[in-house]
Amino acid sequence: MFADPVPGLKMKSRAPKSEEIWKIATALERAYGSPRHGNPRNPLDDLIYIILSTRTRDPSFGRTFRRLKRRFPSWNAVLPGRKSEVQRILAPGGLSRLKARQIVSVLSRLRQRFGRATLAPLGRLPDLEAEAYLTSLPGVGPKIAKCVLMYALGRKVLPVDVHVHRVATRLGLKTKKRPDTSQALVERAVPLDLRYSFHVNAIAHGRSVCLSRGPLCDRCPISRWCEYYRCRRGPKRRG
Q: How many CB atoms lie within 10 A of CB 89?
A: 18
The pLDDT of residue 60 is 79
Residue 85 lies in a domain: yes
Residue 18 has pLDDT above 90, yes or no: no
Phi, psi (degrees; rounded to nearest 5) at 81: -70, -10
Lowest mean pLDDT: which of 37-51, 73-87, 95-109, 223-237?
A: 223-237
The pLDDT of residue 5 is 43
Residue type, 55: R
The pLDDT of residue 11 is 58
* Residue span of the structural domain in which 50 resides: 43-151
Q: How many CB atoms lie within 10 A of CB 32?
A: 19
pLDDT band for position 4 (cuts 50, 70, 90): very low
CATH of the domain at 203: 1.10.1670.10
Task: Indicate the DSSP class of residue 117.
Answer: S
What is the arithmetic mean of pLDDT over 85-113?
Answer: 93
Q: Name the domain count of the chain.
A: 2
Residue 12 lies in a domain: no
Residue 50 lies in a domain: yes
Alpha carbons 102 and 215: distance in angstroms, whole number: 35
Domain match, 73 and 138 both: yes
pLDDT band for position 17 (cuts 50, 70, 90): confident
Residue 9 lies in a domain: no
Q: How many CB atoms lie within 10 A of CB 235?
A: 7
Residue 1 has pLDDT above 50, yes or no: no
DSSP states of 93-135 as a string? GS-HHHHHHHHHHHHHHHHHHHSSS--GGGGGS-HHHHHHHHH
Could you say which of 84, 116, 151 is where a domain stops?
Answer: 151
